[in-house]
Chain A
Amino acid sequence: MQAVIVILGWTAFAVVLARALQPAANSTAPQAAPFLGGGTPDMHAWQRFHFRPYSMSLLFIAFEMEMMFMYPWAVVFVSEGIKALAEMGMFLAILSVGILYGWREGIFRWQ
């Protein structure tokens, strides 16, 4: 009972605090327009752009995951034998799809 009261009280406190601190965005239509030093946009501001480190981080995660699982795998490899080899083969095959995709995107073209 005491725990419930504490939880409810804390939740109510958090809600009230969040409402009290919430910034009032009572901006007028001219203020809601993008600031362009007096200029006007031709288009809606919503747009898609390329996050360029994306393919690099994909490659990093592919190799990092590989190493993360290879350490425990190396410990049990001798006792498990061919079964462990097959499992690691499947795992590496899945990861290499990501690396192939990165290759197609041109990660390995260093400039």
Chain B
Amino acid sequence: MAMTHLVRWAARAPAPVYAAIGPGRQAEVERLLTRPGLNRAKTPRDAAILLVAGDLPSSSLDALNRLHDQLPRPRTTLRWLDGDQEAIAHRITTALRALCDGAAGEDDRLPDTPANEWKGIGPHGQGGKGMMGGTPYGRPMAMTGKDVRDGLQLDRYTTRVGPFAPMLPPGLVLEVTLQGDVICEASVQAAPFAQPAEADAPALCAARMLRLLGLDAAADRVIRGRPLRAAWVTGAVPRGLARINDTDARDRLSAWLRSRTVTVAPPDLAALLPGSEWSEAMLILASLPPSALIRAARATEAA
């Protein structure tokens, strides 16, 4: 009895959607997910519905499969190919209701085995000797290197983030080497998907930065075209971040909040990101209009 009530409530809640955005669909998806009945999930773990917008290139299908399997069961994938927002919003709420009514949802696309086999050596099955080295589950442990800030010997962790990371522009695959949360090296593995000029709209750009600051309600408000009541939020962006053409990240956010378009010369991403903390780096990327970011990433990728 209690369970049926909970399920009925869950069906009426905003549908948690994780969006995998393809070429040319960024602006539409960002506008769609501000609708009252939809909730933009920050991780696949929070989501029940995977929204695949647009035609994804075949190179990102593996990433999509990994993402799909990270959604908890029951889950549904919806493909959104045409531009009608009303129709897709209706499909999403219907899909959520079907899941709450006990639909089985989709199975895993990848095998339920670890990506690498366990190859432990040592008396406790650990990788190597003591706390260093070894390859548990086939993945090497992070080894030390000089810290970029004060030269301490700290572990370097290398990973690729994207193409569907919510804090990065859709399509961008960034290979980063981190020490703690400080980026030591960054390289572009795949440039962001091409987006129409609409993605540079001031409201959308401002909303991306506000979302990174944790102000989702403010971001939704800005996208819906209503004025932001808390104008002081620009103070949350540190001064002097990504200074290009005499504007830093905070200046660009204030310009966007005053509905002014910002144009910047594409910077060298591989030089811009190292040395900054992860949160700063994400603000730096969000403070560049998508068109400039795409050109910058393509230049870095080609180099």
Contact B115 A29 (CB under 8 A): yes
Nearest-neighbour CB distance to chain B for A105, whole angstroms, equals 10
- Nearest chain A residue, comparing its CB with the CB of B137: A44
User: Is A19 part of the binding interface, using a Cβ–Cβ cutoff of 8 Å?
Assistant: no
Bound CA span A50–B62, Å? 34
A7–chain B nearest beta-carbon distance, Å = 32
Selected from A29, A31, A36, A44, the residue in CB contact (under 8 A) with B141 is A44
Q: Which of A30, A37, A45, A48 contacts B69 (CB 8 A)?
A: A30
The count of chain B contact residues (Cβ–Cβ below 8 Å) is 50
Contact mask for chain B residues 107-118; partner A; CB cutoff 8 A; 1 contact, 0 none:
010111111000
Instruction: Give the number of residue pairs across the A-B interface with Cβ within 8 Å.
Output: 112
Q: Is the CB of B158 within 8 A of A28?
A: no
CB contacts under 8 Å to A, within B159-200, are 159-166, 168, 173, 179-181
Segment from B81-89, B147-155, B239-247 that makes contact with A: B147-155
Chain B residues in 8 Å Cβ range of A106: 150
Complex Cα spacing A32 to B108, Å: 13
Contacts A29-B114, A37-B166 given; indicate if A46 touches B158 (C-beta within 8 A): no
Q: Chain A at the B interface: mostly helix, strand, loop or mixed? A: loop
Contact assessment for B63 and A29 in the assembled complex, using a CB-CB cutoff below 8 Å: no
Please report the total number of A residues contacting B with Cβ < 8 Å. Answer: 24
> What are 22 sample pairs from A and B whose C-beta atoms fall under 8 A apart?
A29-B111, A30-B66, A36-B160, A36-B161, A37-B164, A38-B63, A38-B162, A38-B163, A39-B159, A39-B173, A40-B159, A41-B157, A42-B139, A42-B158, A42-B159, A43-B141, A44-B127, A46-B142, A48-B154, A48-B155, A49-B155, A106-B150
Chain B residues with CB under 8 Å of chain A are 20, 43-45, 60, 62-64, 66-67, 69-70, 72, 108, 110-115, 127, 131, 135-137, 139-142, 144, 147, 150, 152, 154-155, 157-166, 168, 173, 179-181
